[in-house]
Chain A
């Protein structure tokens, strides 16, 4: 498997705060790879280390086969980066930003630039300081694609975009992947966007990897099942189930979120002799929230318990 990004035991602390903690990550070339995690999980820190903006304390990271510690930074000519808050010269016009890009990047493609510019309908004569955050993100994306990237690093790109532009943004990325085989690595809190466009998902929490799977595999390996019992629910046995991520019970009904293949889970549940086992739909958001809850990250004082036998 060709890897566009690989990290090995990557570490980064800010003062005493461990932002990235022994992180291992593999991003296959040509994938649209979604990075999720709650606020403060280390997503931006990770992306900034990959771009070379900040340096890791220890560990290794490679982009397009080159170590991020390499002195020769020419590989970055093929990496497009859209930061969560785009930093651009406020007095430049949009057209001037593009001209700057064409001077900085040796593979700059004016035709691609104009095509995207037309698509997003940005005013070239507008000054950067008069643009909204969403418009700045669009300018940053046009530039990131016009430099003919082999790798796109996007940090929360769809936040602050209106639905029409968001859709156009996703479409531009998808066409880029279909036509050029570009690898896209993007962090987002919009799990619906990711569920639609990504083929791989990694979740990080407190700087550590929670899971990293293809989306298909993730969906096949996490299930939400409802069990209905004739009388008493065997709560103790349910809590001991290996792979249990989350469970809730009310009366005779128990809803569990559990990892594993369905055909191995079902026989283990059948032993508990429920009257009915029903699989409920579980989307990416549901998977994410269940995993977060199992790590103690949830809102309010909701009563819950979990076995950590993953």
Chain B
């Protein structure tokens, strides 16, 4: 398990990366930063480490980190300003619509999986409710 600590005023941000997971490392970086933004740990306008800083800090492959940043930039989560660094982006409503559409697609995938497992409507709703509870509980800690 590799962790990254980002120095922040009044706190630290941990990014847990486990190279041995089936989930590719770039995806873990994408998910970690998205989660930090979703929880408000990273706020719009805030600088995040450069590809080199992150790669060296985590002893991870720079190409992998660059791929994660590329993906985050495509999704409008971060923005790179030449010579100034990489920042958490302000989110316009257009971005949000795109993000919402993506989320709908993801939910659809989950529903297909659930169908193959033979879960009924009630079971699926329960699954979502449980996950939401778990997510909120983790946020309180």
State whether A279 and B63 are in contact (beta carbons under 8 Å apart), knowing that A171-B56, A196-B2, A266-B116 are contacts in the complex: no
Q: Which chain B residue shows the least CB distance to A171?
A: B59
User: What 1/0 mask marks residues of chain A from 200 to 220 whose CB sits below 8 Å from any chain B CB?
Assistant: 000000000000000110011
Docked Cα-Cα span, A284 to B20, in Å, equals 7
Is B116 in contact with A277, judged by CB distance below 8 angstroms? yes
The number of residue pairs between A and B whose CB atoms lie closer than 8 Å in the complex comes to 75
A129 within 8 A of B: no
List residues of B (9-25) whose CB comes within 8 Å of A's CBs: 19-25
Is A197 in contact with B59, judged by CB distance below 8 angstroms? yes
Q: How far is the CB of B17 from chain A (nearest CB, A)?
A: 9
Stretch at the interface among A2-10, A16-24, A172-180, A288-296: A172-180
Q: Which chain A residue shows the least CB distance to B20?
A: A283
Docked Cα-Cα span, A167 to B59, in Å, equals 8
Is B20 in contact with A174, judged by CB distance below 8 angstroms? no
Q: How far is the CB of A117 from chain B (nearest CB, A)?
A: 19
Q: Which chain A residue shows the least CB distance to B57?
A: A171
B64 within 8 A of A: yes
Number of interface residues of B (CB under 8 A): 24
State whether A195 and B59 are in contact (beta carbons under 8 Å apart), knowing that A270-B116, A277-B116 are contacts in the complex: no
Q: Which chain B residue shows the least CB distance to A223?
A: B22
Interface of B is mostly: helix
Residues of B within 8 A of A95 (CB): none
Is A281 in contact with B116, judged by CB distance below 8 angstroms? no
List residues of A (166-194) whose CB comes within 8 Å of B's CBs: 167, 170-171, 174-175, 177-179, 192
- Which residues on B are within 8 Å of A, measured CB to CB? 2, 19-27, 51-52, 55-56, 59-64, 67, 113, 116-117
- Which residues on A are within 8 Å of B, measured CB to CB? 30-32, 167, 170-171, 174-175, 177-179, 192, 195-199, 215-216, 219-220, 223-224, 266-267, 270, 276-277, 279, 281-285
**Told that A32-B61, A276-B117 touch, could you supply 14 new A-B pairs with CB distance under 8 A?**
A170-B59, A171-B56, A174-B61, A177-B61, A177-B62, A178-B51, A196-B61, A198-B61, A199-B63, A219-B22, A266-B116, A270-B116, A283-B20, A283-B22
Q: Can you report 7 residue pairs joining A to B where beta carbons are below 8 Å apart?
A: A32-B63, A197-B60, A198-B61, A199-B64, A215-B25, A216-B67, A283-B19
